[in-house]
């Protein structure tokens, strides 16, 4: 059909417009109902200002009704984002920076006669080395007499998880999976310690907010006028609170991994040399995933070869440290993601399609999995076949390190569990992976006993 298109499964809640795919290209339709607000957004100069500042994804305007919809006003073609990520995959500092970006846009929009009508982390993505706002339909005309309609959404999506992590000193990103639309204020209030009430801003935005919003409204209730100054004061209070929140923890057993690895004879030097040699030959590789990136040592090697890299690790502190590092250095080629490859982010939301599973979102030329296989096969009891299946879903080429059972790290793992891993051999490893990949080359990694493999997917 000439007008066939596919609406994006996560873009259905806003009557102002929606995202859709046509001929492999993503577009955003602006509906007639949002015409006045969108025209004002563009004519005010605010759209151009945000794009120039690198705070909003730019778009082309297409004067064509690609959906044949009666609601059509305009078609936008946004700049492509290589990987959509979700807040349950973000580190603490990344979520905090996303919250501050949201407040910055809200504050600046007021000066242009506009306001943000929603405040969700799903409107923010990682793009070319920084956080960027992606929803051009979130800006509407500001009515000075009305309160900020997205205030509760901001508190439940940003403040709730940040405050719970701040006070518990624990990484709780997975709460976003349980509460896709934000952690309810009543739940946050009940989980926060009593001492949190002594923080004025926390008391106002969580405890008091939960108490007030929990009361049933009646038809006789009158909505109080909400001045511009009150909104400015609200934003200032939220910014003060978010800025003061501290990262939960600074170091784990994994955050110093490469410091220890560097002490093993020529292990790291030889490993780096082998991988760099392969990267020099793999000229077709433009994108990559580093599974088990830790502090990002090999993600940075990939980036130095002009390869856009998704750096993943299950340890939130490692990813948070990497995020702060690449942010300070303005590294554009690395995107940090919290991910446990043994339990990758699933498809969730309406019909389990609203937020897509990581293995379906991430498609790259190359995956690297260094010192990972034994953690999956022995630490998690996952078969070589299952591991190979996971990797083949996302990449065409694979660099993977086999760690023999005699390795000191595996022996430490087996100190606390029964050795039932008779199938953990290099022969069985290569046989399992050969179902999906052809082994191109392999090299021993110095005197470590470990072996690096370069594989390419069949077909």
Q: pLDDT by residue (tens digit) across 81-100? A: 999 999 999 999 999 999 99
Residue 220's pLDDT band (cuts 50, 70, 90): very low
Separation between Cα atoms, residue 47 and residue 40, nearest integer Å: 10
Supply 459's token pair: 């077909």
- In this predicted structure, the answer to whether residue 259 has a pLDDT above a threshold of 60 is no
- In this predicted structure, the answer to whether residue 459 has a pLDDT above a threshold of 80 is yes
For range 245-264, the mean pLDDT: 62
Percent of the chain with pLDDT over 90: 89
For range 151-180, the mean pLDDT: 96
Task: Round the average pLDDT of the chain to a whole number and report it.
Answer: 93
Quick one: pLDDT at residue 218? 46
| 27: β partners | 20
Residue 3's pLDDT band (cuts 50, 70, 90): low
Per DSSP, helices labelled H in 215-310 are 228-244, 257-261, 267-281, 297-304
For range 302-327, the mean pLDDT: 96
Residue 224's pLDDT band (cuts 50, 70, 90): low
> Of 285-289, 334-338, 414-418, which gets the smallest average pLDDT?
414-418
For range 376-398, the mean pLDDT: 97
CB 406 within 8 A of CB 447: no
Q: Of 347, 298, 394, 414, give the one whose Cα is nearest residue 88.
A: 347
Burial of 373 (0-12, 13-18, 19+ CB in 10 A): buried
Quick one: pLDDT at residue 214? 77
* DSSP H or E segment with residue 75: strand 72-78
Q: What is the pLDDT of residues 329-353, one digit of tens each?
A: 999 999 999 999 999 999 999 999 9
Separation between Cα atoms, residue 153 and residue 323, nearest integer Å: 25
Q: What is the pLDDT of residues 20-57, one digit of tens each?
A: 999 999 999 999 999 999 999 999 999 999 999 999 99
For range 316-325, the mean pLDDT: 95
Quick one: pLDDT at residue 303? 98
- In this predicted structure, the answer to whether residue 381 has a pLDDT above a threshold of 90 is yes
Q: What is the pLDDT of residues 56-82, one digit of tens each?
A: 999 999 999 999 999 999 999 999 999
Q: What is the pLDDT of residues 195-216, one digit of tens each?
A: 999 999 999 999 999 999 877 5
Supply 302's token pair: 């990939």
Separation between Cα atoms, residue 47 and residue 38, nearest integer Å: 10
For range 380-398, the mean pLDDT: 97
Quick one: pLDDT at residue 393? 97
Residue 223's pLDDT band (cuts 50, 70, 90): low
CA 87 to chain centre: 5
Quick one: pLDDT at residue 213? 87
Quick one: pLDDT at residue 87? 97
For range 210-235, the mean pLDDT: 76
Supply 4's token pair: 């066939």
The label of the residue with tokens 């030889």 reads: 270
- Torsion-angle region of residue 226: left (phi > 0), alpha (psi -120 to 50) or beta? beta
For range 413-420, the mean pLDDT: 90
∠ Cα 387 388 394 (to 5°):
100
Residue 253's pLDDT band (cuts 50, 70, 90): low
Q: Following DSSP, what letter does each residue of 154-177 receive, concatenated?
A: HIIIIIHHHHHHHHHTS--TTHHH
> Of 193-207, 245-259, 412-426, 441-455, which gets the smallest average pLDDT?
245-259
Alpha-carbon dihedral 344, 348, 351, 356, rounded to 10 degrees: -60
Q: What is the pLDDT of residues 126-137, one digit of tens each?
A: 999 999 999 999
Percent of the chain with pLDDT over 70: 93
The half-sphere exposure of 275 on its side-chain side, counting CA atoms within 13 A, is: 29
Q: Of 312, 283, 335, 308, give the one whose Cα is nearest residue 390.
A: 312
- In this predicted structure, the answer to whether residue 316 has a pLDDT above a threshold of 70 is yes
Quick one: pLDDT at residue 222? 52
């Amino acid at each position: 059909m000439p007008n066939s298109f596919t609406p994006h499964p996560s873009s259905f809640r806003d009557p102002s417009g929606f995202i859709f795919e046509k001929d492999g290209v993503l577009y955003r339709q602006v509906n007639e109902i949002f015409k006045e607000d969108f025209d004002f957004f563009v004519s005010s100069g605010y759209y151009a200002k945000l794009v120039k500042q690198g705070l909003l994804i730019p778009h082309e305007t297409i004067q064509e009704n690609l959906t044949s919809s009666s609601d059509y006003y305009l078609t936008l073609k946004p700049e492509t984002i290589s990987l959509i990520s979700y807040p349950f995959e973000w580190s603490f500092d990344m979520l905090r920076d996303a919250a501050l970006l949201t407040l910055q846009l809200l504050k600046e929009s007021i000066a242009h006669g506009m306001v943000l009508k929603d405040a969700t982390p799903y409107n923010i993505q990682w793009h070319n080395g920084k956080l960027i706002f992606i929803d051009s339909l979130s800006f509407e005309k500001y009515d000075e007499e009305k309160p900020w309609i997205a205030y509760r959404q901001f508190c439940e999506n940003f403040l709730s998880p940040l405050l719970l992590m701040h006070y518990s000193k624990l990484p709780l990103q997975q709460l976003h999976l349980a509460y896709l639309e934000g952690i309810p204020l009543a739940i946050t209030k009940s989980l926060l310690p009593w001492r949190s009430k002594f923080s004025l801003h926390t008391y106002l935005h969580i405890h008091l907010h939960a108490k007030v919003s929990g009361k049933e409204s009646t038809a006789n209730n009158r909505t109080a006028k909400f001045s511009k100054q009150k909104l400015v004061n609200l934003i200032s209070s939220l910014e003060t609170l978010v800025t003061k929140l501290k990262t939960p923890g600074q170091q784990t057993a994994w955050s110093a991994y490469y410091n220890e690895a560097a002490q093993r004879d020529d292990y790291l030097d030889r490993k780096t040399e082998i991988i760099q040699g392969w990267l020099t030959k793999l000229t077709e590789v433009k994108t990559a995933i580093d599974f088990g990136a830790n502090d990002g040592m090999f993600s940075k090697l990939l980036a130095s070869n002009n390869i856009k890299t998704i750096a993943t690790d299950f340890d939130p502190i490692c990813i948070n440290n990497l995020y702060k590092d690449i942010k300070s250095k303005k590294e554009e080629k690395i995107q940090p993601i919290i991910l446990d490859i043994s339990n990758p982010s699933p498809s969730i939301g309406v019909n389990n399609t609203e937020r897509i599973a990581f293995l379906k979102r991430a498609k790259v030329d190359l995956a690297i999995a260094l010192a990972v296989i034994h953690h999956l096969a022995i630490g998690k009891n996952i078969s070589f076949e299952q591991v190979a299946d996971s990797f083949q879903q996302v990449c065409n080429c694979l660099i993977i390190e086999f760690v023999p059972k005699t390795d000191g790290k595996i022996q430490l793992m087996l100190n606390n569990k029964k050795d039932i891993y008779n199938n953990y051999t290099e022969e069985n490893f290569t046989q399992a992976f050969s179902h999906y990949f052809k082994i191109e080359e392999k090299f021993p990694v110095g005197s470590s006993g470990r072996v690096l493999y370069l594989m390419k997917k069949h077909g």
